[in-house]
Amino acid sequence: AQSNPDVIVLLVGVWERMHFIDERYRGRSLGQYRTQVVDRFVDLVTRDGAEVVWVGAPPVRESTASDQLEFLNGVFEQVAEDDERVRYVDGGPVLTTPRGGYVDVATNPDGTRERIRRIDGTHLCPGGAVRLATPVVHLIADRWQIPVGEGWPNQGWRHHVPFDDGDVDCPAVG
C-alpha cells in the first residue's frame, strides 16, 4: 500500500508444496488451492492496480518436490491464462537440460560452464538467477517500456551471493 507498484514479480519456491504433504492441506484439490489461496492472493496484491508476473518454479534435484512444483506451476499458469492481471513466465526451460531435467551446471553460449544451482539442489547461484531473471526483465521492459540496463547480468551483484556460504554452496566449476 505504501509503494503502490505497477508490477509485482513472484516466484513461489519449494515451501509452497507443503500443500501436498502437510496434514492441514490433505484432501484439497488444486482447484481448491487455486480459489482459496492463489486467486485470493492475486485479488489482494492487484487491488490498487498492480499486475503480477508469476515466475514458475524450475525443477529441483529431488524428484517428488519437482513433480509437486510442476503441478503448482500448472495452477499459476492457468491463473495467468484466465486473469488479465497476471502474466506467467515458465522458469523451467532456462534452468534445465534440453529434456527438462534438473541440472547443476550449464554451458553458456560462449562454451564456458557455469554453476547455476547451489549444492543443496534447490536454490540458485548467480548464473541461475541471471538465467531466470532474463525473461522476466524482458517481459517487464516490453510491457512497461522500461529500458534494460546494458550489461546488467554481469554487474557487481553477481559477486554478492545473499548467503555467507556462497563460495561453498556455489563453487566454481573446474
Lowest mean pLDDT among 54-63, 80-89, 151-160: 151-160
pLDDT band per the 50, 70, 90 thresholds, residue 71: confident
Of 93, 96, 99, residue with least CA distance to 135: 93
For residues 124 and 131, what is the distance between their CA atoms, to the nearest angstrom? 10
The predicted model gives 115-120 an average pLDDT of: 93
The predicted model gives 72-80 an average pLDDT of: 91
Q: Each residue of 4-33: b (16+ CB within 10 Å) or e?
A: eeeebbebbebebbebbeeeeeeeeeeeeb
pLDDT score at 163:
52
The predicted model gives 15-35 an average pLDDT of: 67
The predicted model gives 62-71 an average pLDDT of: 86
pLDDT score at 135:
95
- Which DSSP symbol is given to 36? I
Q: Phi/psi class of residue 4: alpha, beta or left (left: φ > 0; alpha: ψ in -120 to 50)?
A: left
Cell of 131: 538465467
For residues 13 and 35, what is the distance between their CA atoms, to the nearest angstrom? 19
Task: Give the number of other Cβ atoms within 10 Å of residue 147's Cβ.
Answer: 6
Write the pLDDT tens digit of every residue in 98-117: 888 899 999 988 999 999 99
pLDDT score at 15:
78
- If one compares 93 and 14, the residue with the highest pLDDT of the two is 93
pLDDT score at 160:
64
